[in-house]
Amino acid sequence: MNRSRVVVGRRPALGGRIWLVAMIAAAGLTGYLMYDLGLSKAGFRSSEAAREIGELKAENKTLKKTNKELSERVAILETAAKIDQEAYRQVDARITELQAKIVDQQEDIEFYRGIVGENDGSELRIQSFQILAGLRDREFELRLVLAQALSASREISGKVELELEGLQRSESVTLGLSDLGLGDQSGTLSYGFRYFEDLKASVTLPADFEPQRVRVVLRPQGSRGKSAKTVEEFYAWRPENG
């Protein structure tokens, strides 16, 4: 009795799989081509897009470089501006200092010019008188500059009397240096100079005393036989900032 055998081969199944893969690849390629064709018809081309992307990348790189350079430039300018401001501040402070010195020198020049220019024949005079406000309430500094003609050939000396005239409890009162605790035993200041001398006296006024004017009297001494003239002046009470 003859039996027939069925032999199952695998070759036809492998061929079917290859065919299926080829069909899928062809379908994918066809789909991509159709998609690209559709984009082309709509005005879009992938090659141009790729080129534009490349150009944009290059431009973006250039912009980044430019931005970095500009940022560094701004930093440099800001630093320079700070340096310029500091230099300006120093120059301005120096100018202010020099102007103050010029004012002081001008005052000194006027002072010495007054000494040189005034030659009224008197050997002794009051060159200037100032009342400067002190740091505390009712404290003042009386500044008196005495001078004599430059033609004078000798030193002059003597005493200075300072009296403050004003009101105390609505009554007229005169206070001397001794009343204010200043001066020597006689309540006067001593001077002795060839050309000029700067005298100062710090006073503290009583709480109930309102000054109105200052009387200054110069009494020369040691005139070597020449008549010594007493000098007397009155100054209104006008304090200045010290």
Higher pLDDT, 119 or 111: 111
Tell me the C-alpha distance between 54 and 173, whole Å.
103
Residue range 212-239: mean pLDDT, rounded: 83
Q: What is the CA radius of gyration of the chain?
A: 53
Tell me the C-alpha distance between 129 and 235, whole Å.
8
Give pLDDT, residue 79. Answer: 86
Higher pLDDT, 30 or 45: 30
Q: Note the pTM of the prediction, 2 decimals.
A: 0.52
- CATH for the stretch 125-241: 2.60.40
Higher pLDDT, 222 or 202: 202
Give pLDDT, residue 71. Answer: 86
pLDDT greater than 70 at residue 139:
yes
Provide φ and ψ at 37, rounded to 5°.
-65, -40
Tell me the C-alpha distance between 76 and 78, whole Å.
5
Give pLDDT, residue 225. Answer: 44
Higher pLDDT, 214 or 59: 214
Tell me the C-alpha distance between 232 and 238, whole Å.
18
Tell me the C-alpha distance between 214 and 140, whole Å.
13
Give pLDDT, residue 212. Answer: 95
**What strands, in cross-sheet order, belong to the sheet with 196-204?**
196-204, 139-147, 125-133, 240-241
Q: Which residues contact 239 (CB under 8 A, 6 or more apart)?
A: 131, 132, 133, 140
Can you give the residue ranges of every domain in the chain?
27-117, 125-241
